[in-house]
Chains A and B, each alone.
Chain A
Amino acid sequence: MDILTLFVVVPIITVLVLIFAKDLKQARVISLAGMLVQLGMAINLIVAYLHERQLVSKDTIMVFTRDIPWFESFNIHYTIGVDAISVVMIALTAFIVVAGIFISWKIDDLPKEFFITLIVLATGVFGFFISLDLFTLFVFYEIAVIPMFLLIGIWGSGPKEFSAMKLTLMLMGASAVLSIGIFGIYFNSNAGGGVLTFNILEIAKANIPVAAQNLFFPFVFVGFAVIGALFPFHTWSPSGHASAPTAVSMLHAGVLMKLGGYGVFRIAMYLLPQGALHWTDFFLVLATIGVIYGAFGAIMQKDLKYINAYASVSHLSLVLFALLMLNKTAWNGAIIQSLSHGLLTALFFALIGMVYGRTHTRDIAKLGGIMKILPFIGAVYVITGLAYLGLPGFSGFVAEMNVFVGAFEHPDLFHRVITVIVVSSIVVTAVYILRMVGKIMMGPLVNEEHANLPKAAWYEKVGLVLLMIPVVVIGTIPFGLSEMIKDSITPFLERLL
């Protein structure tokens, strides 16, 4: 079996074993074992990729490709392969899933089912990132989305039924819109004289007629961007995050929302480049509104999870903004921003979950002076906050730097104006992050009952450290990452010419 298919097979085996788990202890050990294997494979994949890249010619876009016919009459294949972008996304997912399992170490209600659903979701995400066939990709996308309903609905808090329903319907509605775009691409994929195909690399060679590109680009873009929190379709995200249990928020904001940006890049931009050029201004405006709206939304919130949810809307709109800038530097920034935001937001949600699990409140007004009581959690919280607002030395800075430099490469007035607007969101981000961190960590102890909170347990520390490592690595040696994804961005650029 090839190295990529294992990324789907290992979770499936883990789920099958989990079915026979008897209690929480067995369930968490089995899932941890399975996902640690997955993490090992992900790290191995990075090494193997870098090695493989040396061997193949420059023109090879994807490595480790494999093609198995599935529905032959539709020319549907199980086609897989990775470039640097998918490799780093897979690594991100593996890190967050393992951290999520550590954070859910003490889940009490239906533990077995929780881990099964979580890993089914992860299966969908891993499958999505390795797919090179639109049909397979769409299948994995929906497999990744639907478990959210159960995860939020069963293990969530607050208005969980409402949030779960809203999230599921909006995301599945988006995937319905996306399917129209996929049909449009499929039935135009023989424009070059070949046969109809779902294979992304083949379609890219076919050059879909410009009229069809302009028609179907918005379907594909919106279909993916809804899960990437495109304004005004972001409303599922704050309520969904706020109601979801900690590990699910982590996985959701950290990984699932990245499917949006990845899909926009891999499908909409790559297969419909003329459509992208045609629509870029319109969607740039929406992305700009999203960045600003999310940032101001976060300022107004009092609930820690809502703050982070709106911050995610802001930061992911920044990813869409960068993607729509259609140049190499901005795209580089978009990918690093996806990774950085995935790790940082997962850290944030993990920390919020730990604070909430001890104090039973997420209201900023009722929290204060946590740093003295929970030094480890407090320290990580501060570091995460600083990284989040783009302090040099962490991943957030590298990402935003690239995005804005890329955005400024456009000399015209329209791009200048929206870039300035978006850049100003950095200040707003600093406001809400510093205010939140300052109030709950540094400020005076608000509630006397909080004085004796239990310290971070070993599994919580492991989960946090696991996520901190890549944040620091990306921040301190950003060129390694940029160098790695550089070659993979080139084919996207060539499509625009």
Chain B
Amino acid sequence: MNWNSLLLMRFELGLLILFLAVLIFEIFTGKKQKGKLVSFAIILFAIHTAVGFFPLEEGRLFGGMFRTNTLLYFFKNVLNVGVLIVLLQSADWLKEKVVAQHKGTEFILLLLSSLLGMYFMISSGDFLMFYLGLELATLPVAALVAYETSKRISAEAGVKYILSSALASGTALFGISLLYATTGTIYFDVVASVLTVSNLSVLGFILFFSGLAFKISLAPFHFWTADVYEGAPINVASYLSVISKGAAVLILVILLFTVLKPLFLFWNKIIYIVAIATMTIGNLFALRQQNMKRFLAFSSVAQAGFILLGMLSVDQLGLATVLFFVTVYIFSNLGAFGVVQAISSAADKENIDDYEGLYRTNPKLSLLLMLALFSLAGIPPLAGFFGKFFLYLAAASKGYYVLVFIGVVNATISLYYYLIVVRAMFLRKNPDAIPYFSSKLFMKLGLVLSAIGILVAGLYSPLYEYVYAISTTFLN
């Protein structure tokens, strides 16, 4: 083995070094310096993110268990940027609340190890590596969900999350074992060539898909979403809704388009039905929510349904639109969660009613939240519009006009509940509106980064063209 080939794991190794560095510095910092350690870790991660943009070679390691290519590099960069925004947005919360309880560093370490799991999961070349990555990505998050130990609801959410994701992982593992039973191998490439439609392989697929559907919170596996988001600290909820979901979507689409392609005539029906169910259920539940976190939880369920539209087009277009949508969705959702986080830490308010009259006291925050919600609703010229329009195009290119029609109707329904929040912020006047406050530097950076993403990622066409160009990678 050539040592140079280890460079293919630069993302993973870089994150590991960062992890160890934070761990070692934590030993040597005094109690009063812990807040600075948080800033230090975030700056280190920003450097790690920047380094990720340098080009790398493609290749495989460990006999094909680990593979990497331009598309995966791109997506790891997207995840990095997302996590960076999450970290920036949580910096103040960490310094003010968590460091006092002597567990600020652990938060970052858990977050990073979960990210490491996602790296391995999307880079996996066989089911074993995939499962390892999945578990590494999930378990630390369970601890993070229960991080606000003083709140009962947080502990409840943690238990819910660990139980449901353990079940999901178990189901996925059972599915993998059935697929192994029919094909006799766990290597993706080999499975792809020998997999045929049989009762056992179909059952294996269903179980495997259910496991991943849990992670993406597709209906009918979405029940944990709202409770967990509500109980979890806001930045953990935003991490779950964008990073965790994004990585799971990517590996699902890669597996569907390559390994599970022989079952296409079977799984396209499942995706079709699940897409309709997820969009509709997510939307209908979101209509009546009062708590911003639950609201965003159901909205993110609905968004996951839209993503499935692109998966029905098993070609370059489908992969590109899914990847592009996930990229712009990360910015939109992080923008929304960021504002909720900022308001929650400044005023400790999380309900839509509390946002009434917000524009007159905090115009910039309201404006960003409006942009983020409009982007999620798919209003041009914001990024979300392009993401959604292209997903529709991908589905329509295969003649799924009825599904696209259901999609656009759902998009209109979703506009209603996004407008409810806009209505509260802009249209209502409220003498008891949340008073003006100014966020700290890291928070501002986090919000500005997501705002730039929302405004630019769609209009700037080279981004999509790049995604489209690299989407040939997994397709022969």
- For B398, the closest partner residue in chain A by CB is A187
Contact call A165/B393, Cβ cutoff below 8 A: no
The residue from B385, B397, B401, B422 contacting A139, defined by CB atoms under 8 A apart: B385
Q: Which of A171-179, A326-334, A382-390, A481-489 contacts B (4 or more CB under 8 A)?
A: A171-179
B380 at the interface (CB under 8 A from A): yes
Smallest CB separation, B220 vs chain A (Å): 26
| Residue in A72, A143, A176, A183 whose CB lies within 8 Å of B396 | A183
Q: Which of B389, B390, B397 touches A187 (beta carbons < 8 Å)? A: B397
Interface membership of A335, Cβ < 8 A: no
Q: Quick check: is B98 within 8 A (CB to CB) of the other chain?
A: no
Q: Which range contains the number of B residues in contact with the other chain?
A: 20 to 34
CB-based contact B404/A153 at 8 Å: no
Nearest-CB residue, chain A, relative to B370? A150
**A183 — which chain B residues lie within 8 A by C-beta?**
392-393, 396, 401, 404
CA distance A172 to B408 in the complex (A): 10
Expressed in whole angstroms, the Cα–Cα distance for A228 and B411 within the complex equals 22
Task: Check A146 for interface membership: any CB of B closer than 8 A.
Answer: yes
On chain A, the residues within 8 Å of B401 by CB distance are 180, 183-184
Cβ-based interface call for A154 (8 A) = yes
Partner of B415, one of A74, A135, A160, A168: A168
> Which residues in A have their C-beta under 8 angstroms from that of B396?
183-184, 186-187
* Whole-angstrom distance between the Cβ of B415 and the nearest chain A Cβ: 5
- Contact residues in A for B379 (Cβ distance below 8 Å): 142, 146
A177 to B389, CA, bound (A): 13
B423-457 contacts to A (CB < 8 Å) = 423, 426-427
Indicate with 1 or 0, residue by residue over A266-297, a CB within 8 angstroms of chain B CB atoms: 00000000000000000000000000000000
Q: How far is the CB of A212 from chain B (nearest CB, A)?
A: 11
Query: A71: CB under 8 A from chain B?
Result: yes
In the complex, which residues of chain B have a beta carbon less than 8 angstroms from the beta carbon of A154? 426-427
Residue A169 lies at the interface, judged by CB distance under 8 Å to chain B = yes
Of the residues A135, A176, A186, contact of B411 by C-beta under 8 Å: A176
A373 to B440, CA, bound (A): 58
Q: Flag the segment in B111-119, B127-135, B344-352, B461-469 that touches A.
A: B461-469
Separation of A407 and B396 alpha carbons in the complex (Å) = 38
B427 touches A161 (CB 8 A): yes
Interface hub of A74, A76, A153, A187 (most chain B Cβ within 10 A): A74
The yes or no answer to A73 lying at the interface (CB within 8 A) is: yes
Query: In this complex, what residue of B is CB-closest to A184?
Result: B401
Contact present for A143 and B381 (CB under 8 Å): yes
A76 to B404, CA, bound (A): 20
Given the interface pairs A165-B419, A172-B412, the reply to whether A180 lies near B465 with Cβ below 8 Å is no
Question: How far is it, in angstroms, between the C-alpha of A150 and the C-alpha of B423 when the chains are bound?
Answer: 8
The one of B397, B423, B465 in contact with A165, judged by C-beta atoms closer than 8 angstroms, is B423
Query: Which residues of B386-411 are within 8 A (CB) of A?
Result: 389-390, 392-393, 396-397, 401, 404-405, 408-409, 411
User: Which A-chain residue is minimally distant from B386 (CB atoms)?
Assistant: A71
| Given A139-B381, A165-B419, A180-B405, residue A71 in contact with residue B461 (CB < 8 A) | yes
Instruction: Kindly list chain B residues whose C-beta atoms are within 8 Å of the C-beta of A73.
Output: 317, 320, 464-465, 468
Q: Which residues of A are found within 8 Å of B337, using beta-carbon distances?
A: none
Contacts of A70 in B (CB 8 A): 461
Total A-B pairs, Cβ < 8 A: 77
Asked if residues A72 and B426 are in contact (CB atoms below 8 Å), the reply is no
CB-based contact B427/A164 at 8 Å: yes
| Distance in angstroms between the alpha carbons of A136 and B205 in the assembled complex | 41
Give every chain B residue within 8 A of A135 (Cβ-Cβ): 389
For B239, the chain A residues whose CB sits under 8 A away are none
A residues 133-150 with Cβ under 8 Å of B? 135, 138-139, 142-143, 146, 149-150
A153-B426, A154-B426, A183-B392 are contacts. A142–B465 as well, Cβ < 8 Å? no
CB proximity of B418 to chain A, nearest CB, Å: 11
What is the CB-to-nearest-CB distance from B12 to chain A, in angstroms, rounded to a whole number? 31
Confirm or deny: B374 has a beta carbon within 8 angstroms of a beta carbon on chain A: yes
| Residue of chain B at shortest CB distance from A78 | B461
Is the Cβ of B427 less than 8 Å from the Cβ of A160?
Answer: yes
Q: Which of A45-100 contact B (CB under 8 A)?
A: 70-74, 76
- Give complex CA distance A165, B465 in Å: 36
Interface pair A150/B426, CB less than 8 Å apart: yes
Which A residues are CB-close (under 8 A) to B404? Answer: 180, 183
Binary interface encoding of chain B residues 116-158 relative to chain A, with 1 for a CB under 8 A from any of its CBs, else 0:
0000000000000000000000000000000000000000000
Cβ-defined partner of A146 (8 Å) among B374, B397, B416: B374
**Cβ B427 vs Cβ A142 within 8 A:** no
A454 to B415, CA, bound (A): 43
CA distance A402 to B411 in the complex (A): 41
Q: How far is the CA of A9 from the CA of B268 in the complex (A)?
A: 45
Partner of B416, one of A71, A74, A169, A187: A169
Report the nearest B residue to A141, measured CB to CB.
B380
Q: Which residues of B contact A186 (CB under 8 A)?
A: 393, 396
| A458 vs chain B, min Cβ distance (A) | 32
Chain B positions within 8 Å of A139 at CB level: 380-381, 385
Least CB separation from B401: chain A residue: A180
Contact between chains at A168 and B419 (CB < 8 Å): yes
A-B CB proximity, top 8 nearest? A176-B408, A153-B427, A183-B396, A139-B380, A173-B412, A73-B468, A71-B461, A176-B412
In the complex, besides A146-B379, A172-B415, 10 extra interface pairs with C-beta distance below 8 angstroms are A153-B423, A165-B416, A168-B415, A176-B408, A179-B392, A179-B408, A180-B401, A180-B404, A180-B408, A183-B393
Name A's B-contacting residues (CB within 8 A).
Answer: 70-74, 76, 135, 138-139, 142-143, 146, 149-150, 153-154, 160-161, 164-165, 168-169, 172-173, 176-177, 179-180, 183-184, 186-187
Can you list 7 A-B pairs, Cβ within 8 angstroms, ordered by A? A72-B461, A74-B393, A149-B422, A153-B423, A161-B427, A179-B408, A183-B392
